[in-house]
Structure 1
Amino acid sequence: MPAAQDWNAARAALLRYLRAKGAPPDLADDVAQETLARLIALSHTQQIGSVFALAFRIADNLIVDGRRREARRRVRESGEVDEEWESDGPSLDRVLDSRRALDVLSLCLGRMPPLRREVLIRRRLNQESCRAIGEDLAMSAKAVEKHITRGLLDLRAALDRAGVDVAGIGG
């Protein structure tokens, strides 16, 4: 779990990031606080590879969620939509985009060299350390990192070739 000064640095970076995106100071403070609460909770159960990257992703998602809630509230107040049909679930487009991305990633993983696939799955999905993977597979941690990098590049290229925008799916 990161030290207190890491959380303070993450909060400061989050506030700069949110203000640069045009968030008013009070909203930036609220989003930064909620983001840190979620990060701290996650750090108790998982190893976080990059606190800052995850913080920015969570903050972006919180902003998007807030905009959606506000849009739903405005529609509700205008009386244009029957609340019975309203859903907090993802839109059909988002579900379909996610399924398409999953299909592309699955196909790409299936075409990867077996060692690269195993290393990538163990690190990214099972959250195993590079050192532990390297010890199990008689490889250096650096070699494990290279397999991960190449695997992620393969996945990104497959998504790009398929025209899948993962930024639109996660947010």
Structure 2
Amino acid sequence: MSAFLANRGLIATVLKRYMLSGVDVDDLTQETVVRALEAEQHKEILEPKRFLVGIAKNIARSEIERQSKSLVGLLEDVTPRAYISDEPSVEAVVDSRRRMQVFSQAIGELPPQCQMVFVLKYFYGASHKDISAKLDIAISTVEKHVALGLRRCRQHMMNAQQGDATDVSESNVLGLESWRKSR
């Protein structure tokens, strides 16, 4: 114990060389003393100063290794794959909304009975037979309205994609055209 008290400053200096914080230095200095006292019970220590410095270095290295392992663990928790989102991109959402708007417009332009058949078929999943009974029309008429609705909606969407639809164009969706010009 007298060797420790005489070399306490030296032990703290050794530990500080390993860039450990002040709190760590105090704790590790105490651990150095405990280990030295335990070792003294089993064998005679001929050079206490050198022995204490050796224990302090070993303890500092062990502490640095422990801290680096915990840092590596933290870094593994923050890998980019942990933050990959399944959500669609902003561009995909805007494009999807634009296409849905064009599709809604296409349905709105269908003749009234064709529109009812189309909505019952594709939004409510009704069968041709159910639609026929509900609207009191022949099954063949239902089939014709479904085909007409599909054909007109597809054509309207193709026209909008080519820029022919004037009501719903990119410039109308969130002001993208003016945004592009300002960039």
Query: If the length of structure 2 is used for normalisation, what is the TM-score?
Result: 0.43
Higher relative contact order (CA 8 A, sep 6+): 1
